[in-house]
Amino acid sequence: MPLVNWFKRKFVVIAGLLTLAFLLLPNVVVTVFSFNKPKGRFNYAWQQFSTDAWKDPCGVSGLCGSLSLSLQIAFWATLGATALGTMIAFALVRYRFRARGAVSSLIFLPMAMPEVVMAASLLTLFLNMGAQLGFWTILIAHIMFCLSFVVTAVKARVMSMDPRLEQAAQDLYAGPLQTFLRVTLPIAAPGIAAGALLAFALSFDDFIITNFNAGSTVTFPMFVWGSAQRGTPVQINVIGTAMFLVAVLIVLTSMVINNRRNKQKA
């Protein structure tokens, strides 16, 4: 029974790797089909190898425009949500104030709410106010739902920070502003960065809330959605693959740099 025993010992590893394969399979398909040359309007069945789409990623009208719009919105949403969220996180961890419970629930609720509900109610508000749907309404919505995630990320970091560090700075002649700039902020930076990264990813990839509140403006996810109805250009896969590669590359580089730094220290 050595095979059975081997399987027993390796069960977790095998099951885990199968799940990992399940997670990565679509990315493999996206990559492979970015080299496809489909016959019809849809890129769902393999026809023949081609690099046409890679040579002309912006060849579909509206695609690169929507991509750049999504990047802009994600940038501003990240900036806004990170600033507001960091302030809230500091208030929550470092101060006592009235209505703490209410503040906490108001931050928790957007994360515990299905996106359609927030999307629909926000649209109701915009319609009632007679707001022009477009860039600004999308940005407002994105900052709103990214905020809670930033608060959670920054809060975790600030909470694990030893308050004695700030006291030590004060003890060493740093006034409140100096203490914040020279000690608090640099130490909280990884948490703020994590929150910002999360906000960027959430905003860039958001579809449901954007779809409700965009009016006739088209972000990248909305472009993909529309093309699923009208016909999927191969360029979508090119952009998806490129995003995946860039992300993995950035993470791997930062890991290598970290490793090297750790080795130098040791």
129, amino acid identity: M
Q: Cβ of residue 56: shortest distance to other proteins, in angstroms?
A: 18
Residue where the block lists tokens 């909280």? 188
Please say which residue, 61 or 95, places its beta carbon nearer to other proteins. 95
Six-digit token string for 168: 């030590």
Q: Cβ of residue 26: shortest distance to other proteins, in angstroms?
A: 4
29-58 residues in contact with other proteins (CB under 8 A) are 29-30, 33, 44-45
Sign of the dihedral defined by the CA atoms of residues 188, 194, 198, 199, in that order: positive
Stretch that binds other proteins, among 55-63, 71-79, 179-187 (CB under 8 A): 179-187
Q: Cβ of residue 52: shortest distance to other proteins, in angstroms?
A: 18
Q: Where are the alpha helices (DSSP H) in 130-184?
A: 135-159, 163-171, 176-179
Binding marks (x or -) toward other proteins, 131..170, rule CB under 8 A?
---------xx-xx--x---xx---------xxxxxxxxx
206-265 residues in contact with other proteins (CB under 8 A) are 207-208, 211-212, 220-221, 224-225, 228, 232, 236-237, 239-241, 243-244, 246-248, 251-252, 255, 265
Distance CA 195, CA 148 (A): 10
Please say which residue, 62 or 228, places its beta carbon nearer to other proteins. 228
Contact pick of 48, 49, 112, 216 for other proteins (by CB under 8 A): 112
Q: Is residue 172 involved in binding other proteins (CB under 8 A)?
A: yes
Six-digit token string for 178: 């100096």
CA torsion angle 44 50 54 56 (round to 10):
-100
Contact at 8 Å (CB) between 81 and 142? yes
Six-digit token string for 61: 């009208």
> Judged by CB under 8 A, how many residues of this single chain contact other proteins?
107
Phi, psi dihedral angles at 151 (to 5 degrees): -55, -45
Please say which residue, 29 or 56, places its beta carbon nearer to other proteins. 29
Q: How many CA atoms lie within 13 A of 226 on its CB side?
A: 14
